[in-house]
């Protein structure tokens, strides 16, 4: 019984007469076309997804301020209300382990403290 | 294959190139560690994402059109002839672009060239980390990996390429066709992209510390290791370089001119050593630049490492590293160019230097046998073959660095910038590219900042769009601040 679905290649007894061995020969153009669409589609998805993500991040940072967002460094954690009030009161810049997730950070504008000056390390 | 000896030869060549591909994967493992280590913790995963996503983009586009370009563009096309007959077999829908009992080598050659393409794109990647968008970078990666680099390979890295046949261009291990073009592309993109926030604030050049120097140095060592595969892939393992009547089998370079695996092994290690010495001395013991010097040393000698004496390779490497290092510092201070890993210097300047030097050092050697277009060379050997010469290699260096490197990089970066796809918004950059999107790469380690990060945030707050404070806007630009 023949079960060949695609290639017509049902024997390896004459290898010198065999050319392409993959399924569905003569439909290569279709696979290439699908591949091109996947490639271009991926770029579109990446651009849209990244843009959306950046816009969300910017909104979050504008609401809470960069210094508060970075209170725990680049950990995705922001200072809780209590931590931030304490930091404002004591002007502490020590890093802490606890905090709220950035995606659930409290909303509301606040005033950022003045930045500390960076030290030149290379003239 | 019915002849066992012929079959063994074919399978040897097939396996030879296949092994080079495996080795060249190490280059990319190295690039990932190298760039990931240089990036700060808050940008680590975005950096790694950029490294890994260039792989599918360049691979699939190299399948679609990159490989065809290599065979189709050797004549310019149009400079010394049209598109050669036979290039059409490299269309992505032909039956040798897959498993085929009548072809055993096409996919292996394709992959070896593809790994060069990844390398070219990865070189650009490192220079623009910590502020470039992944979406924009992968478009640049597709451009250099599957268009511009493979055009330069068709022109100057093929025995019948018009630059070889007309100009006598010689670049055996890709000082120009990979490194100078990638360095030039990085420069073009960097000019548009601009420096990281705070890097040149208030007239001060601030260094930004890598988050893991150890990881970076291991990465460069892995690149050295992968370079073995890169070098060997630039050779043909065995070919009759004699005549039909008096056959003489030898390894050859990419132009099918004789060299030996022994010779290039000497030269690879001596150029690495010359670069390491020079990098260590010129940077006064800075390990990042010592390791980078090793890389730049290899690159500076690569154009002629098929023929140099090992001591020539050693000396040329050392000189190339000094020039590249000094130029890097000058350009950084003078033009405020923030090349994070020094890729423009290590690959671009050292590669350019390497091509020019090879033109002088190898002046008079045959560049290749005459191609199907006949005698079109500016300078020929007594046998009538295209001759390596300083003019051809100098112009070739300009073509690689500026024409196929800088210009496309600059133009595409301008377009991406106009679309808002090139650079992340300043607030995202200051907070870190990972912070909102990928999360912390080291969740079990306590976070710290250096004294630089507050400066970076301060600069983010000075950014405006149309005169209004807008640190988060994609098109935000720095206010003019008094110095």
- Per-residue pLDDT for A20 more than 70? yes
Residue A19 has phi, psi (to 5 degrees) of -105, -115
Q: Please tell me which residue, B473 or A100, carries the higher pLDDT value.
A: B473
Percent of chain A at pLDDT exceeding 70: 67
A62 closest CB neighbour out of B101, B420, B427:
B427
- Per-residue pLDDT for A123 more than 60? no
pLDDT, residue B10, reads 87
Mean pLDDT value across chain B: 93
Q: Which of A23, A49, A74, A79 to mutate to test the interface with B (most CBs of B within 10 A)?
A: A74
pLDDT, residue A65, reads 83
CB pairs under 8 A between A and B: 169
Q: Please tell me which residue, B459 or B261, carries the higher pLDDT value.
A: B261
Q: B3-47 pLDDT, tens per residue?
A: 888 889 889 999 999 999 999 999 999 999 999 999 999 999 999
Q: Quick check: A62 and B94 CB within 8 A?
A: no
Q: What is the mean pLDDT of residues B61-71?
A: 97
- Per-residue pLDDT for B72 more than 50? yes
Q: B287-326 pLDDT, tens per residue?
A: 999 999 999 999 999 999 999 999 999 999 999 999 999 9
Q: What is the mean pLDDT of residues A97-118?
A: 39
Radius of gyration over alpha carbons of chain B, in Å?
A: 23
Q: Which of residues 78-97 of B touch A (CB under 8 A)?
A: 92-95, 97
Q: Does B474 touch chain A (CB under 8 A)?
A: yes
- Per-residue pLDDT for B454 more than 90? no
Q: Quick check: B204 and A120 CB within 8 A?
A: yes
Q: B316-341 pLDDT, tens per residue?
A: 999 999 999 999 999 999 999 999 99
Residue B29 in 3-state DSSP?
Answer: helix
Q: For B11, how many CA atoms within 13 A lie in the half-sphere containing its CB?
A: 9
Q: A46-87 pLDDT, tens per residue?
A: 999 999 999 999 888 888 888 888 887 777 777 888 888 888
Q: Please tell me which residue, B479 or B472, carries the higher pLDDT value.
A: B472
Which residues have C-beta within 8 Å of that of residue B451, sequence separation ≥ 6?
A116, A118, A119
pLDDT, residue B163, reads 97
Nearest residue on chain B to A65, alpha-carbon basis: B427
Q: Quick check: A117 and B455 CB within 8 A?
A: yes
Residue B212 in 3-state DSSP?
Answer: coil
Q: Does A123 touch chain B (CB under 8 A)?
A: yes
pLDDT, residue A119, reads 41
pLDDT, residue B294, reads 98
pLDDT, residue B4, reads 87
Residue B441 in 3-state DSSP?
Answer: coil
- Per-residue pLDDT for B241 more than 50? yes
pLDDT band at A121 (very low <50, low <70, confident <90, very high): very low
What is the Cα–Cα distance from B185 to B179, expressed in whole angstroms?
Answer: 10
Contacts of B90-98 spanning 24+ positions with Cβ under 8 A: B92/A28, B92/A32, B92/A35, B92/B63, B92/B64, B92/B65, B92/B67, B92/B68, B93/A28, B93/A29, B93/A31, B93/A32, B94/A28, B95/A19, B95/A20, B95/A25, B95/A28, B97/A28, B97/B63, B97/B67, B98/A20, B98/A21, B98/A22, B98/A28
Q: What is the mean pLDDT of residues B413-425?
A: 95
- Per-residue pLDDT for B403 more than 60? yes
pLDDT, residue B462, reads 81
Q: Quick check: B436 and A57 CB within 8 A?
A: yes
| Residue among B331, B321, B227, B248 nearest B282 (CA) | B321
Q: B355-393 pLDDT, tens per residue?
A: 999 999 999 999 999 998 888 999 999 999 999 999 999
Distance from CA of A6 to the nearest CA of B (A): 15
B451 closest CB neighbour out of A42, A66, A118:
A118
- Per-residue pLDDT for A93 more than 70? no
Q: Please tell me which residue, B52 or B1, carries the higher pLDDT value.
A: B52
pLDDT, residue B1, reads 66
pLDDT, residue A79, reads 82
What is the Cα–Cα distance from B304 to B315, expressed in whole angstroms?
Answer: 13
pLDDT, residue B324, reads 97
Q: Please tell me which residue, A91 or B270, carries the higher pLDDT value.
A: B270
| Residues in A touching B435 (Cβ below 8 Å) | 57, 69-70, 74-76, 102
| Residue among B384, B359, B382, B390 nearest B370 (CA) | B384
pLDDT, residue B464, reads 63
Q: Does B262 touch chain A (CB under 8 A)?
A: no
Q: B96-138 pLDDT, tens per residue?
A: 999 999 998 999 999 999 999 999 999 999 999 999 999 999 9
pLDDT, residue B473, reads 62
Q: Quick check: A25 and B101 CB within 8 A?
A: no
pLDDT, residue A71, reads 80
Q: What is the mean pLDDT of residues A104-119?
A: 36
pLDDT, residue A61, reads 86
Distance from CA of A5 to the nearest CA of B (A): 18
- Per-residue pLDDT for B223 more than 90? yes
Paired with B56 in beta bridges are none
- Per-residue pLDDT for A107 more than 50? no
- Per-residue pLDDT for B165 more than 50? yes
DSSP B222-267: HHHHHHHHHHHHTSEEEEE-S-SSS--EEEE-TTS-B--HHHHHHH
Q: Does B65 touch chain A (CB under 8 A)?
A: no
Q: Which of B200, B457, B462 to mutate to test the interface with A (most CBs of A within 10 A)?
A: B457
Distance from CA of A11 to the nearest CA of B (A): 13
- Per-residue pLDDT for B81 more than 60? yes
pLDDT, residue B147, reads 98
Distance from CA of A32 to the nearest CA of B (A): 7
- Per-residue pLDDT for B411 more than 70? yes
- Per-residue pLDDT for B217 more than 90? yes
| Residues in B touching A32 (Cβ below 8 Å) | 64, 92-93
pLDDT band at B446 (very low <50, low <70, confident <90, very high): confident
Predicted TM-score of the model (pTM) = 0.90
Q: Which of residues 31-50 of A touch B (CB under 8 A)?
A: 31-32, 35-36, 38-39, 42-43, 46-47, 50
| Residues in A touching B135 (Cβ below 8 Å) | 43, 46-47, 50-51
Interface pTM, i.e. ipTM? 0.91
**CA quadruple B447, B452, B457, B460: dihedral positive or negative?**
negative
Distance from CA of A2 to the nearest CA of B (A): 23
Which residues have C-beta within 8 Å of that of residue A91, sequence separation ≥ 6?
A113
- Per-residue pLDDT for A109 more than 90? no
Q: What is the mean pLDDT of residues B444-473?
A: 75
pLDDT, residue B470, reads 61
pLDDT, residue A98, reads 43
């Amino acid at each position: 019984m023949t079960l060949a679905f695609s290639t017509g290649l049902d024997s390896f007894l004459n290898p010198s007469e065999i050319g392409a061995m993959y399924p569905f020969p003569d439909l290569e153009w279709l696979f290439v076309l699908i591949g091109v669409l996947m490639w271009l589609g991926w770029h579109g998805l990446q651009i849209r997804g990244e843009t959306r993500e950046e816009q969300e991040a910017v909104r979050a940072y504008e609401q809470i301020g960069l210094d508060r967002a970075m209170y725990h460094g680049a950990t995705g954690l922001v200072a809780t209300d209590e931590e931030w009030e304490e930091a404002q009161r004591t002007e502490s810049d020590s890093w802490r382990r606890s905090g709220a997730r950035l995606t659930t950070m409290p909303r509301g504008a606040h005033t950022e403290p003045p930045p500390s000056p960076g030290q030149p390390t290379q003239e | 294959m019915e002849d066992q000896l012929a079959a063994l030869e074919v399978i040897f060549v097939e396996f030879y190139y296949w092994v080079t591909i495996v080795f060249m994967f190490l280059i990319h493992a190295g690039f990932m560690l190298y760039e990931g280590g240089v990036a700060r913790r808050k940008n680590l995963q975005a950096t790694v994402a950029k490294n890994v996503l260039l792989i599918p983009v360049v691979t699939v586009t190299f399948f679609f059109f990159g490989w065809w370009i290599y065979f189709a563009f050797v004549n310019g096309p149009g400079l010394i002839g049209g598109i050669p007959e036979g290039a059409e077999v490299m269309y992505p829908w032909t039956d040798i672009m897959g498993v085929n009992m009548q072809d055993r080598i096409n996919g292996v050659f394709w992959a070896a060239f593809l790994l060069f393409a990844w390398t070219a794109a990865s070189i650009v990647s490192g220079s623009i980390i910590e502020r470039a968008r992944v979406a924009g970078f992968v478009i640049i990666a597709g451009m250099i990996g599957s268009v511009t680099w493979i055009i330069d390979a068709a022109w100057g890295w093929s025995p019948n390429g018009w630059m070889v046949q007309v100009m006598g261009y010689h670049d055996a291990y890709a000082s120009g066709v990979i490194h100078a073009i990638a360095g030039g592309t990085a420069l073009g993109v960097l000019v548009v992209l601009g420096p990281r926030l705070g890097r040149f604030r208030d007239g001060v050049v601030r260094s930004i510390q890598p988050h893991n120097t150890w990881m970076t140095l291991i990465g460069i060592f892995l690149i050295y290791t992968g370079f073995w595969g890169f070098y060997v892939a630039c050779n043909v393992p065995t070919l009759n370089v004699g005549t039909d009547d008096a056959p003489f089998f030898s390894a050859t370079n990419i132009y099918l001119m004789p060299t030996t695996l022994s010779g290039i092994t000497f030269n690879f290690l001596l150029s690495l050593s010359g670069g390491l010495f020079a990098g260590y001395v010129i940077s006064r013991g800075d390990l990042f630049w010592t390791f980078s010097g090793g890389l730049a040393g290899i690159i500076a000698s690569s154009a002629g490492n098929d023929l140099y004496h090992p001591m020539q390779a050693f000396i040329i490497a050392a000189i190339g590293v000094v020039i590249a290092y000094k130029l890097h510092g000058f350009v950084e201070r003078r033009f405020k160019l923030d090349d994070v890993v020094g890729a423009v210097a290590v690959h671009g300047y050292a590669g350019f230097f390497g091509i020019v030097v090879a033109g002088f050092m190898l002046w008079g050697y045959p560049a290749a046998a005459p191609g199907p277009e006949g005698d079109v060379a500016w300078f020929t050997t007594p046998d009538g073959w295209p001759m390596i010469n300083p003019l051809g290699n100098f112009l070739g260096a300009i073509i690689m660095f500026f024409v196929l490197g800088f210009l496309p990089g600059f133009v595409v970066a301008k377009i991406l910038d106009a679309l808002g796809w090139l650079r992340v918004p300043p607030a995202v950059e200051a907070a870190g590219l990972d912070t909102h999107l990928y999360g912390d790469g080291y969740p079990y380690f306590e976070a710290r900042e250096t004294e630089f990060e507050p400066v970076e945030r301060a600069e983010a707050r000075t950014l405006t769009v149309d005169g209004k404070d807008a640190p988060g806007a994609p098109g935000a630009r720095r206010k003019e601040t008094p110095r």
